[in-house]
Amino acid sequence: MHPATAKWYDRRDSVYIEFCVADSKDVKINFEKAKFAFSCLGGTDQVKHENEVDLFEAIDQNESMHKRTDRSVLCCLRKAEPGKPWLRLTKEKAKLTWLSVDFNNWKDWEDDSDQELGNFDRFSEVGDGDMAFNTQEAMAKMMNNMGGEGDLPDLDGADDDESADSDDEKMPDLE
């Protein structure tokens, strides 16, 4: 038996753990108040994976859930105390070789502000119709709001040929 490789990240109400097991079968997940267990068969060899974690804080095992995809199993652990950040996933400070932080999904939610959410809403002003076109349109709007050509400050001497650096001198030939 092997532990499955996993990534985790924290949110206000929940902690998410993604077990990276392709083609998982016989997925079994046991949510307890202070413990979490995962097992499955996975990969082309159908290797048995098992992970067990004593959690940093308590969870609501009745509200916790999981979703299986072809590439992984994503688990949502509902916090018993929403709004309290988890410093780590495990109760112990020991480093687990199979567990890492999912920095792609990590968010410093303590610094959330309505202004940041408002900025995000500006990016999604377009509808769901033509996703590629709308994404390009939204990016163009964002770039226009940030300023375009003509808004750059005048850099004194940037185009002058006379302002050569001392390291622009010709190097002597090698012997």
Compute φ and ψ for 9, nearest 5 degrees: -150, 160
pLDDT band for position 125 (cuts 50, 70, 90): very low
pLDDT at res. 172:
79
Q: Span 10-21, mean pLDDT?
A: 94
Asked whether residue 147 carries a pLDDT value surpassing 50, the answer given is no
Using H for helix, E for strand and C for coil, what is the string for 25-47? Answer: EEEEEEECCCEEEEEEEECCCCE
pLDDT band for position 170 (cuts 50, 70, 90): confident
Asked whether residue 67 carries a pLDDT value surpassing 80, the answer given is yes
How far is residue 151's CA from residue 98's CA, in Å, rounded to a whole number? Answer: 49
The secondary element (H helix, E strand) that includes residue 48 is: strand 47-54
pLDDT band for position 88 (cuts 50, 70, 90): very high
pLDDT at res. 171:
76
Asked whether residue 13 carries a pLDDT value surpassing 50, the answer given is yes
C-alpha distances in angstroms, 14 versus 35, 40, 59, 84, 141?
15, 23, 9, 10, 34
- Please list, in sequence order, all residues whose beta carbon lies within 8 angstroms of the beta carbon of residue 21, skipping any fewer than 6 positions away: 4, 5, 40, 42, 43, 49, 72, 73
pLDDT band for position 106 (cuts 50, 70, 90): confident
Give which of 78, 95, 69, 74 is closest to 32, Cα–Cα.
78
pLDDT at res. 65:
95
Task: State if pTM tops 0.85.
Answer: no
Q: What's the full length of the chain, in residues? A: 175
Q: Span 105-119, mean pLDDT?
A: 54
